Amino acid sequence: MGFPKIVVFTGAGISAESGLGTFRGNMGLWEKYDISEVASADAWHKDKEKVLDFYNMRRRQLEEVEPNQAHYALSRLGNYYDVTVITQNVDDLHEQAGTSNVVHLHGELKMACSSYDKSHFKNIGTEDIKLGDLAEDGSQLRPYIVWFGESVPMMQKAYEIVEQADHFIVIGTSLMVYPAASLIFAVPDNAAKYYIDPSDIDASLSDWNHIKESATSGTPKLVEELIKQSNVDN
């Protein structure tokens, strides 16, 4: 039979509680930046150095943060369920906490890739990418990030994972960024659905279990409840 499948969909809110700045929100570290000037293909062609500096700064910030209680709780859940995390975040805090099945929809900060072909990528850790740093195909290395206006290559895989979910948990995302937010429409009707976020829930999600708490508060509580359920079922 195997373990029941839990799919967790995370956004910037879970990373923000580890101290990582977000694009959105009044406390967003990056609010002084025009997103169109650092997170689009047009921005890259216009000013590569500015884009590289921005992502180098974000990459260096990863050295200053650690997974929080929400990340560790989800990792623990993997001992009782078949857990896959689908994240909009480009940090590796889920992996640092011990979660092995992580799908990054929008790329990964610790990766660099060819400007010509993003399938040519490599792990650079928290090192800077400089002008003149070249990929194997001779092109300028760029951040391995899905910028606004670019296709999201992992979407099909994500849909297929969500369609198999017995439980679906949303943590720390406003569900405003598409196509990622469309994953909620692939959740099976009979799956248990949870939304962990301190903000009010959208009327269209009124049948979801809304845990109106922060990620670090609500996630451990839900995980404990799900672990209890798994023990009863077994």
pLDDT digits (tens, 9 = 90+) for 23-50: 544 444 455 667 778 889 999 999 999 9
- Check residue 233 and give its pLDDT: 59
Mean model confidence pLDDT for the chain: 91
Please determine whether the domains at 1-20+67-106+151-234 and 29-64+111-145 fall in the same fold group of CATH: no
Superfamily name and number for 29-64+111-145: SIR2/SIRT2 'Small Domain' (3.30.1600.10)
pLDDT digits (tens, 9 = 90+) for 87-131: 999 999 999 999 999 999 999 999 999 999 998 999 999 999 999
- Check residue 33 and give its pLDDT: 67
Residue from 71, 94, 104, 106 carrying the catalytic annotation: 106
Residue type for position 153: P
Helix (H) or strand (E) holding 193: strand 192-196
Q: Give the side-chain half-sphere CA count within 13 A for 94.
A: 26
The Cα 127–Cα 18 span in angstroms is 21
Q: What share of the chain is helix, strand, coil (3-state, %, to 5)?
A: 35, 20, 45
The Cα 62–Cα 126 span in angstroms is 7
What are phi and psi for residue 185, nearest 5 degrees?
A: -80, -10
For the chain, state the CA radius of gyration.
18
Ramachandran bin of 108, using left for φ above 0, alpha for ψ from -120 to 50, beta for the remaining angles: beta
- Check residue 27 and give its pLDDT: 44
Q: Interhelix angle for 69-77 vs 215-233, to 10°?
A: 20
Confidence tier at 161 by pLDDT (50, 70, 90) = very high
The 10 Å Cβ neighbour count of residue 226 is 21
The CATH number fitting domain 1-20+67-106+151-234, selected from 2.40.40.20, 3.40.50.1220, 3.10.129.10, 3.20.20.70: 3.40.50.1220
- Check residue 22 and give its pLDDT: 58
Structure tokens of 207?
């049948």
The Cα 134–Cα 144 span in angstroms is 14
- Check residue 202 and give its pLDDT: 81
Residue 106 annotated among the catalytic residues of the structure: yes
What are phi and psi for residue 175, nearest 5 degrees?
A: 60, 35
pLDDT digits (tens, 9 = 90+) for 50-96: 999 999 999 999 999 999 999 999 999 999 999 999 999 999 999 99
Confidence tier at 177 by pLDDT (50, 70, 90) = confident
- Check residue 88 and give its pLDDT: 96
- Check residue 2 and give its pLDDT: 67
The Cα 161–Cα 169 span in angstroms is 13
Place of tokens 């760029």: 142
Domain ranges of the chain: 1-20+67-106+151-234, 29-64+111-145
